[in-house]
A and B are shown apart, each in its own frame.
Chain A
């Protein structure tokens, strides 16, 4: 392994600009003559808009224009879309209400977009916005997803009776019923997967810039997938044809899913820039981010697990109500369906699974993918069930899991997924050792002696990522293919530019992708640059989410590098006067087999461009190749996380004392980066378990609309983590890698809650397990367990 090759913890190349203040985020972009947009937002959760009077506001200093839903409609700007069609059990398509970029006739959540004010300065736009008079007729709010479909609730969309988007199911109902009928033991749980607000530290921002000379709109936006944004803004919203619409996502300050989606604000900035022929800039303040970024999770679930007398899991039955919020966001419908129920088998060999999901509308912000997207919800269900089943039947939670692990691969679950490879017991053993599981009893006693409660909790997670085979997701309702593209441009002196459809907003692609290229071509890593995030530079790509940039994005680079090598061998063959079949390529050198005749990579590149040594009609000059990689399967990272908590029963404060994670991500490109991804994911999962929760009151006002009330994990909320990996190479991509971006957030919430419930001796704890929640839970007597 070279110092900068695959498997090395190479320090990040992109860091220099970030640590010196030279990162370039959207809010750092300033265009000549730019005006600023302020969005007037609904103060009501649900209301009809009876009249908008902007006459005074239009006279305010600096105001350039004020637009409302009427203007959007007049210009035939299309509504925001959801790109995944789900069909209900009865075969009917999901009911999606219209989602205009500026509200038309009705507002459906606090923060919904009523008008945009564009002025010379942001302060002027905001000042003027306060002078717009809007007559609303308030309607009842619909806040509780568990009640949203009831007959007495107000209707959010006329198109969706009973506020129901779809009633979907997956699995074999009859087989599952039979498994439960024959069960020796059934474990039942009611769970709420708390609603979260993603909170990338960079708020969303957009700059629309129109060039009337070329009739081209350029949109700078905080996007994880600029090509998808262009596709939607062009083909569906209709702002401009794709070749007249350039989308640039420069440095982006974190996404976690929330910047996948195509939002109203960026749509309006791009549209308005052309309308007023002047650049239009908008940057969310944090309150706007809380109100209008797509939220995550928000499931209400009843789940059951059937066991036979020997402790084998025989069936899982789940009913979930998923809150979609007020409108269907870009990929919202896929999250509680195909990203959720197919993971309900966990790491276990379970013959029968049946899941029903009712998706409902409420008058809250749209809900869509947030780090893990569906898989954390599934993992929470199965890992809470499994832990409780072990407790109820007097089994050790680790050994109970081991007894039920899938051990033969490939393994077809009853819910779509075909697990390709894994070694769950190996991860478990390593985690047990690292966590000093044998010492738990002594540590519990030591805590008890101090008047504290100690508990340990497991989470043996699996997830499906590296999304995804295009034909497969197409058959499940996706409106897009989920391949990735890459282009390798070798310059005449042998430096290399990689143009990728993946987008890095923290994932370290500029380093890890360069490691791959440096390793493969035998060139210094400093001779490789990674270009991404600009639709004018990079051919169509699908972007970064679903832990796909390694498994799919890098595989596309590998495929393009294969073509580069093949072409370069031909050039080298001409230069070295040998058949390309006889050329070997190793460590940056092309050598004629069995001879000492060789030429280095840079010289071949030069020869490819000068084209002196071959017939340009038979072999094209140049050295540039592109490729599209369409995966044949998901990747299935899995692992075992063990959390140990200590609770102060007097205050309810939970301290995460130890956190151990052993994950299988297949081959690692850069262990330092992989560990960093795991750290961040675990922190978000601990945040979900202990700290974070979006709360709307009965009127639909968001009570957690700032960092004063929405609790972000801070350094002193978290321990240092004990992280390790095992390696079963993924067979479905050339690098043997599996996605690592979401695993921490998927695995950790049940580990934390299982630890807390272990400490308390009962299951009656909700997320987030804040001090108040836990203190109250300490007032309840522990259950008598089978083991006791």
Chain B
């Protein structure tokens, strides 16, 4: 067993874990943060996407112990003070989800996309940048619109914040 501690959604957590514990297992089984999902074994579907130290990663392909000392954000930590993150709101506004299983990973990947690529995203960029996430329900049509809206609103929020 090894000792791991990290900050998850602003909360300091620590536990004794088997070194082979994946980050997603730590989140789901130890912390009971079940919003992060597992959809494949080969690191392709992206349902397990979370942010570690500000970057989107696949928590099924990351050891929990590798995140010792890191700051982790999951889908449960995205809304602040009861207000949905603009990307979450955009997915609802644009019917960017159906069964909801891929959605947490989609949203976390999309937030990361905006952080890397900026708020003005054209359709081709969005589709390309979603390469690491698979959805079986929506045909991506409304996900693309969701991400575009979420990106614009993240940009507007950042501008407004900078002006304050």
The yes or no verdict on A and B being binding partners is yes
Q: List A residues at the B interface (Cβ < 8 Å).
A: 11-12, 14-25, 27-28, 30, 123, 199-203, 251-254, 256, 283, 285-287, 505-508, 672-673, 675-676, 679-684, 706-708, 712-716, 718, 720-721, 744
CB distance from A656 to the nearest CB of B (A): 11
| Any A CB within 8 A of the CB of B11 | no
A718 vs B131: C-alpha distance in the bound complex, in angstroms? 12
Give bound CA distance, A758 to B124, whole Å. Answer: 26
Q: Which 10 A-B pairs have the closest CB atoms?
A: A21-B35, A253-B101, A18-B100, A683-B139, A506-B99, A21-B75, A506-B98, A679-B139, A28-B34, A715-B130
Instruction: Find chain B residues with CB under 8 A from A713 CB.
Output: 139-140
Number of B interface residues, CB 8 Å?
Answer: 56
* Residue numbers in B under 8 Å from A708 (CB-CB): 42, 44
**Residues in B neighbouring A22, C-beta threshold 8 A:** 35, 76
B135 close to A201 (CB less than 8 A): yes
Q: A201-B135, A286-B41 are in contact. Are A683 and B76 (CB under 8 A)?
A: no
Q: Which residues from chain B sit less than 8 Å from chain A, CB to CB?
A: 18, 20, 28, 32-42, 44-45, 47, 74-76, 78-79, 84, 88, 91-93, 95, 97-104, 107, 123-124, 126-128, 130-131, 133-144
**CB–CB B91/A19 < 8 A:** yes
| A712 and B140 alpha carbons, distance in the complex (Å) | 12
Asked if A679 meets B41 with Cβ closer than 8 Å, knowing A707-B134, A714-B134, the reply is no
Report which of A15, A30, A252, A718 forms a contact with B140, defined as CB distance below 8 A: A718
Provide the residues of chain A in CB contact with B74, threshold 8 Å: 21
Docked CA distance A679–B133 (Å):
17
Q: Is the CB of B95 within 8 A of A673?
A: yes
Contacts of B33 in A (CB 8 A): 21
Query: In the bound complex, do residue B99 and residue A505 qualify as a contact, i.e. CB atoms below 8 Å apart?
Result: yes
Beta-carbon contact of A20 and B100 below 8 Å: no
The contact of A714 among B100, B130, B141, by CB within 8 Å, is B130
Contact B99 A254 (CB under 8 A): yes
Q: Do A680 and B137 touch (CB < 8 A)?
A: yes
A30, B30: Cα distance in complex, Å? 12
Contacts of A285 in B (CB 8 A): 41
| Given contacts A22-B35, A680-B137, A508 and B98 within 8 Å (CB-CB) | yes
A241 to B107, CA, bound (A): 44
Contacts of B128 in A (CB 8 A): 715-716
CB pair B39–A201 under 8 Å, yes or no, is: yes
Contact of B42 with A201 in the complex, beta carbons under 8 Å: no
Docked CA distance A253–B40 (Å) = 13
CA distance A286 to B128 in the complex (A): 24
Q: Which chain A residue shows the least CB distance to B103? A: A18
- Are B84's CB and A20's CB within 8 A? yes
Give CA–CA (A147, B80) in the complex, Å.
61
Nearest to B129 among chain A residues (CB) is A715
Assembly CA distance A708 to B104 (angstroms):
22
> CA of A680 to CA of B38 in the docked complex: distance in angstroms?
21
CB distance from A512 to the nearest CB of B (A): 12
Can you list 19 pairs linking A and B with CB atoms under 8 Å apart? A18-B97, A19-B75, A19-B84, A23-B100, A23-B101, A123-B18, A200-B101, A253-B99, A506-B98, A506-B99, A506-B100, A679-B138, A706-B42, A713-B139, A714-B134, A714-B140, A716-B128, A718-B139, A718-B141
